[in-house]
Amino acid sequence: MEQSDLQSLEENLPFWKKVSDDERKVLVDGTIRFTHGKGAIVHDDRNICTGLLMVVSGQLRVYIISETGKEITLYRLFERDVCVLSASCLIRNITFDVHVQAEKETTILRIATDSYQQVGKTNPFVQDFTNQLVSSRFSDVMWVVEQVVFMSFDRRLAMHLLEQAAIAGQDSFAATHEAIARDLGTAREVVTRMLSRFQDDHLVNLSRGGITLTDRDGLYALT
């Protein structure tokens, strides 16, 4: 393992100073660095217990998918975030599948479930970290529930566009109507219709494969 990877583990696993040298060795030996190209599927089945994923650089999307191929994004993971549901086999009572996709070229450290489980079994700090992650993702999902059930689609779309601009760090960003539909768990036509309305209202400017926010205040007013 490279020194920078070791440093990533040390900095992003809050229990790192509270495990023994032997336990730390188990974790280090069980960790592999991977780089996934944009669009690559990083994890896609609960039965394949991929392991914990720590994002070194890039961006991951965690989503669920229906029998008919419809999707909804649950949350995104950025640099330093740790994905726990890709190791959901180590959490009892988790009965659902999530899928994880790289949204840009993404480098991750993958900690093998076996190694993590071995250390977690005896070290309460590791277990506590797992639980914090689970609770945090549970809260993310509850936010999705609230949006889907309680909010009108124009409001959800406005929030989504503002969020995407924040992620991109600028008012213009690449986004297909298809990708937005997958994020919001709806049909492409629904997105296209509402984006056209937003454009008519001078809130956004649509171009091929991209969107520019032209009236942030107007979008905020919708949220």
Asked if residues 162 and 220 have their Cβ atoms less than 8 Å apart, the reply is yes
User: Which positions from 2 through 61 interact with a copy of itself, judged by CB under 8 A?
Assistant: none
207 near a copy of itself, judged by CB under 8 A: no
Tracing tokens 């071995």 back to the chain, one arrives at 118
Q: Which is nearer to a copy of itself, 31 or 50 (CB)?
A: 50
Q: Given the rule CB under 8 A, which of 50-58, 64-72, 159-167, 196-204 is the region that contacts a copy of itself? A: 64-72
**Binders of a copy of itself: how many residues, by CB under 8 A?**
36
Q: Which of 40, 128, 43, 51 is nearest to 84 (CA)?
A: 51
Stretch that binds a copy of itself, among 47-55, 104-112, 121-129, 215-223 (CB under 8 A): 121-129
Instruction: Count Cα atoms within 13 angstroms, Cβ side, for 210.
Output: 10
Q: Torsions phi, psi of 32, nearest 5?
A: -125, 145
User: Is residue 129 within 8 Å of residue 137, measured between CB atoms?
Assistant: no
C-beta of 31 vs 86, nearer to a copy of itself: 86
190 binds a copy of itself (CB under 8 A): no
For the CB of residue 182, give the shortest distance to a copy of itself in the complex, in Å: 11
In the complex, the smallest distance separating the C-beta of residue 74 from a copy of itself, rounded to whole angstroms, is 8
As measured in angstroms, the least distance from the Cβ of 127 to a copy of itself is 7
Structure tokens that stand for 131 in this block:
């639980």
Q: In 3D, which of 194, 212, 188 has the Cα closest to residue 153? A: 194
The site string for a copy of itself over 68-107 (x = CB under 8 A, - otherwise) reads: x-x-x-x----------------xxxxxx-----------
Annotate each residue in 124-163 with x if it binds a copy of itself (CB under 8 A) or - if it does not, as one string: x--xx-xxxxxxxxxx-xxxxxx-xxx-------------
**Residues in contact with a copy of itself by the rule CB under 8 A:** 64, 66-68, 70, 72, 74, 91-96, 124, 127-128, 130-139, 141-146, 148-150, 185
